[in-house]
Amino acid sequence: MPDDARPQPGPGARPGGPHDGVTQARVVAADTWRRLRILTGRARARQGVARVRTSFVPIAVSALAAGLAYFVAHQLFGHPFPFFAPVAAWVCLGFAPDRQIRRVLELAIGVALGVGIGDAIVHVIGSGAWQVAVVLVVSALVARFVDAGILLTTQAGVQAVVIVLLPPSGTGGPVSRLVDALVGGAIALVVAMLWPRDPRRRLALLGREAIAALADTLTMLAGALAHGRADEARAALARGRAAEPALEIWHTSASDARELARVNAQGRRHITVIDRSAEQAVLTDRVMRTVRVLARRTAALAGDHDTTGLADVVSRFAVAVRDLSAAVGEGRDPARARDGLRVAAALLDPRELAPDDWEVASLALLVRSAVVDALEAAGEDPAAARDALPPL
């Protein structure tokens, strides 16, 4: 039925029909989901910009290593088509800022194995569909015998298939292809071991981003508790989930930097700072997981309980975490953050915040756990962090 043919309310009619409540609920739900999508999109855009910023130098280094590998294979070894030299260098180095030596070595061995086995098999049985299957089986089994690394086995199979399918005239002879792969892998390994870089700055930037995301989540959660609104709590939960990649990158980068520091003289000088960053990443992730649980439970309780007292504590918590983010980013002692966290911890007495409401008291218990982990991330001794809380 056309819209103009539908019955229209008379001039004296007023809203309040049986469907008005349902329509309003749908509008609110649609608006909430729209806000969540915008919030998540902005968080992902910020993370994308951060990834580009931190990956530019590693990508440039990998590209230069690939060019050097081509030059060495072409000029020093006289190979006219050193296809596998730059390929091996790029595959081994990739674009990760913190290159694990074991990972680079696995990839280098895998590329060389794949090229060598592929060449040997193709020389005997030729190339074709069933030859691809045979090459994959043999190269993967040999790689598994050599080492347990998954990357090694994967690259062995991939490079063996390339050997089977590429025409020899485009990549050089069998021996030259193996030499090219070895040249590329060797150059990648040397670059990974000797590239002079200080991991502290990147870890500080990653830590600041991840902890700032935690502060944003806490700020939104404090607003949800203050207003008693479930949609604000769900928005806080979405913000916390959107921060997972930032936390994971921080933790992975700290672990990779620790491994690289063992074989790099410059990195060994910073091992204490690297270990501290890795510990902070674990603790921050633990806080974020607790806060997400808190956001889900807040959404379930919103509107039926008085959570204004707890909202004030969470707001103080958020301010202290933001101070921690700034301190981590600048590489200084987070003394101000510790002071703010101690103040928030001292207020977390469930009997004071919710004397007659056990459900709100359970929320306060969750906040207590998160504050203790945050204090440890700010450099507080674990025992002292627990002692900052009122006794139960």
- Which span out of 44-53, 87-96, 243-252, 332-341 was modeled with the highest average pLDDT? 332-341
Q: State pLDDT tens for residues 37-60.
A: 776 677 677 767 777 777 788 888
Taking residues 208-221, what's their average pLDDT? 94
Contact 326, 207 (CB under 8 A): no
Q: Where are the domains of the chain?
A: 52-194, 198-387
Q: Please report how the helices 271-301 and 244-261 are oriented relative to each other, as an axis angle in degrees rounded to 10.
A: 160
Residue pLDDT, tens place only, 217-245: 999 999 999 988 888 899 999 999 988 98
**pLDDT tens for residues 306-326?**
888 999 999 999 999 999 999
Range with the lowest mean pLDDT among 123-127, 149-153, 256-260, 264-268? Answer: 264-268
- Is it the case that residue 11 has pLDDT exceeding 80? no
How far apart (Å, rounded) are the C-alpha atoms in residues 73 and 82? 6
Whose structure tokens read 């193709």? 122
Tracing tokens 């980068």 back to the chain, one arrives at 253
Q: What is the CATH number of domain 198-387?
A: 1.20.58.220
H helices within the chain, ranges in order? 20-71, 84-93, 101-125, 129-146, 150-165, 168-171, 174-194, 199-227, 230-242, 244-261, 265-268, 271-301, 308-330, 335-346, 350-353, 358-377, 382-387
Q: How would residue 264 be classed by pLDDT, with cut points 50, 70 and 90?
A: low
- Give 166-173's long-range contacts (Cβ < 8 A, gap of 24+): 166/83, 169/81, 170/81, 170/83, 171/81, 171/83, 171/84, 172/79, 172/80, 172/81, 172/82, 172/83
- What mean pLDDT, rounded, does the chain reach? 83
Q: Which residue has the higher pLDDT, 161 or 215?
A: 215
Distance CA 87, CA 70 (A): 9
Is the pLDDT reported for residue 346 higher than 90? yes
Is pLDDT of 155 > 90? no
Instruction: Give, as one character, the DSSP assignment of residue 390.
Output: P
- pTM for the model stands at 0.64
- Is residue 28 pLDDT above 80, yes or no? no
CA quadruple 194, 195, 196, 202: dihedral positive or negative?
A: negative
Which residue type sits at 327?
Answer: A
